[in-house]
């Protein structure tokens, strides 16, 4: 199986979705709302990112981000562990290659990756409050990353907590705060909902639904 050897900085940053977030909670939020068994039919489908042309696919129980694009790299960006042999770029350490095309002094490779962001189970909990869906992802050992989904008129907004703009409000609402990064908050359902109404989750990305 061939392996992609290079990713753009934008792609790498997006894939950090699954890494340790700067803000987590002690319980899935809102903690006074029952978990859902799946995403409703009306928001299932494929959505095009307004930022990087990736596709966010929502099924009955999962969120998958799909990257499908060509990446162009100057030959000077390759390092000593990589070598072009025929129509492939090989990693000399792993001996794994990626098909490429040569365009002048650059190489072009096709990136096609699917990253499962969320898949409902005991470690991935979906909740709903006031038209918003909250994606709760267990962050080992025992805290939860929370993202907000809002769907309206064919537009999907995926929002996360801004460490700079949301942190002060969270500290005001929290009953218990671990005051080091990553920040861990303990909020009642009532206070979490107040945080949402106070325009929390300020880091947002928009997606437009792709009509079949």
pLDDT digits (tens, 9 = 90+) for 108-122: 888 888 999 999 999
Instruction: List phi, psi (to 5°) of 193.
Output: -65, -35
* Structural contact between residues 81 and 93, judged by C-beta atoms closer than 8 angstroms: yes
pLDDT digits (tens, 9 = 90+) for 43-66: 999 999 998 889 999 999 999 999
Percent of the chain with pLDDT over 70: 88
Residue 22 has pLDDT above 70, yes or no: yes
- As a whole number of angstroms, the distance between CA 65 and CA 15 comes to 9
What average pLDDT does the chain have? 85
Q: What is the pLDDT of residue 60?
A: 97
State the pTM of this model: 0.77
Q: What is the pLDDT of residue 137?
A: 97
Q: What kind and span of H or E run contains 197?
A: helix 189-197
pLDDT digits (tens, 9 = 90+) for 120-138: 999 999 999 999 999 999 9
pLDDT digits (tens, 9 = 90+) for 168-189: 888 887 766 666 777 899 999 9
């Amino acid at each position: 199986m061939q392996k992609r050897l290079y990713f753009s900085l934008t792609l790498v940053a997006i894939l950090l979705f699954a890494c340790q977030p700067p803000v987590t909670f002690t319980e899935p939020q809102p903690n006074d709302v029952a978990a859902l068994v799946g995403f409703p039919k009306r928001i299932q489908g494929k959505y095009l990112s307004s930022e990087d042309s990736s596709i966010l696919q929502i099924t009955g129980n999962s969120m998958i981000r799909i990257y499908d694009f060509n990446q162009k790299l100057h030959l000077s960006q390759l390092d000593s562990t990589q070598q072009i042999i025929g129509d492939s770029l090989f990693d000399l350490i792993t001996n794994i290659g990626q098909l490429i095309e040569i365009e002048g002094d650059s190489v072009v490779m096709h990136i096609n990756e699917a990253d499962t962001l969320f898949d409902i189970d005991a470690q991935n909990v979906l909740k709903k409050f006031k038209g918003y869906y909250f994606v709760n992802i267990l962050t080992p050992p025992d805290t939860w990353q929370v993202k907000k989904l809002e769907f309206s008129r064919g537009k999907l907004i995926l929002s996360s907590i801004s460490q700079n703009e949301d942190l002060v409000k969270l500290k005001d609402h929290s009953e218990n705060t671990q005051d080091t990064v990553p920040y861990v908050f303990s909020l009642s359902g009532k206070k979490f909902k107040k945080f949402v109404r106070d325009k929390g989750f300020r880091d947002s990305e928009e997606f437009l639904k792709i009509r079949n």
